[in-house]
Amino acid sequence: MAELGASDGRLAEAAGLLPEVEDLITRGIECGALADPWNILGYQGLYPLFQSREDSTHDHRNEELIDALTRQFDLYARLLAAAAAAGDGRLRELLTRGVRKLAGWWDRFAAYEVSDVPRLHGGERADAALHVARALADWNKRARSGEAGAKEDIAFWRDRREGFTAPAAFAQVIEALLVQQDWRASLALLIAWLSEAILAGMDEG
C-alpha cells in the first residue's frame, strides 16, 4: 500500500503507513516469524541446532528481515525525494525523523558486519536519502526560479558529487532525475558512477 501511494503521488498517505510497517516488523521479530537481529551477529547468520557450528544451518529468516528493512529504507528514500521535489518541508522533516530512528534501531545490531548475509547499513542508507533530498530541494528551487538552464545544469550536481558516497545515493538521485525528465543530469551522474565502479561498491543491492 505504501509503495502504491508513493507511486501515485499520495505522499502523506504513504508516509503515514511507514510506522505501521515498522510495527509489523517488530511484532514479527517478537513472535519468531522473523529472525532476532541479535542472532545474526551472535550466530553469524546461522541457526544453531546444537552447540557446535558444524551442526548449525542457514537461517533464511535473516534474508527475509533484511529484505523487509531494505524495502523500508528504499521507500523512505523515494518519499523524501518526492517531498523535496514538491517542496513539502513538513513531510520531509517527518520522514527525516523516521528514517533516522529506523537507522539507529537497526545499526545497533551490527548485522552489516556479518559477511554471510546481505549488507544493510541503516546510517548509510539514511545519509544517502537525506543528501539526495537536500540536493533535489535545492535543484527544484533553482528550476522554479525560472533561471535559464537551471534544470539541466550539470555543474550543480558536480558541486554536490562528494556527498554521493553510497550506491543507494546514486540510484536514488538518478531515479528521481529520471522521474523529473532531466536526462542530461541523469546521464552525467550515471557515467560518474560507472567511472568509480570499484570505489562505489556496485555489487551492493
Q: What is the structure's pLDDT at 172?
A: 75
How does the average pLDDT of the chain come out, rounded?
80
User: Considering the domain boundaries, does residue 39 fall inside one?
Assistant: yes
Residue 80 confidence (pLDDT) above 60:
yes
Confidence (pTM) = 0.80
CB 66 within 8 A of CB 22: no
Which residue range(s) make up the domain with 120?
Answer: 2-198
Pairing status of strand 56-58 against strand 46-48: antiparallel
| Residue linked to cell 521535489 | 85
Q: In whole angstroms, what separates CA 157 from the centre of its chain?
A: 20
Residue 90 pLDDT grade (very low, low, confident, very high; cuts 50, 70, 90):
very high
Where b means 16+ CB within 10 Å and e means fewer, 166-194 reads: bbbbbbbbbbbbeebebeebbebbeebbe
User: Considering the domain boundaries, does residue 143 fall inside one?
Assistant: yes
Grouping H, G, I as helix, E, B as strand and the rest as coil, residue 194 is helix
* DSSP structure class, residue 51: S
CB 199 within 8 A of CB 164: no
- Each residue's pLDDT tens digit, 38-65: 888 776 666 555 455 555 667 788 889 9
Q: What is the mean pLDDT of residues 168-185?
A: 78
User: Considering the domain boundaries, does residue 204 fall inside one?
Assistant: no
User: Considering the domain boundaries, does residue 118 fall inside one?
Assistant: yes
User: Considering the domain boundaries, does residue 203 fall inside one?
Assistant: no
User: Considering the domain boundaries, does residue 159 fall inside one?
Assistant: yes
Residue type, 125: R
User: Considering the domain boundaries, does residue 115 fall inside one?
Assistant: yes
User: Considering the domain boundaries, does residue 205 fall inside one?
Assistant: no
Grouping H, G, I as helix, E, B as strand and the rest as coil, residue 198 is helix
Candidates 64, 83, 110, 61; CA nearest to 11 is: 83
**How many angstroms separate the CA atoms of 161 and 170, rounded?**
10
> Domain tally for the chain?
1
Q: Does 200 or 93 have the greater pLDDT score? A: 93
**How many angstroms separate the CA atoms of 64 and 62, rounded?**
5
CB 62 within 8 A of CB 45: yes
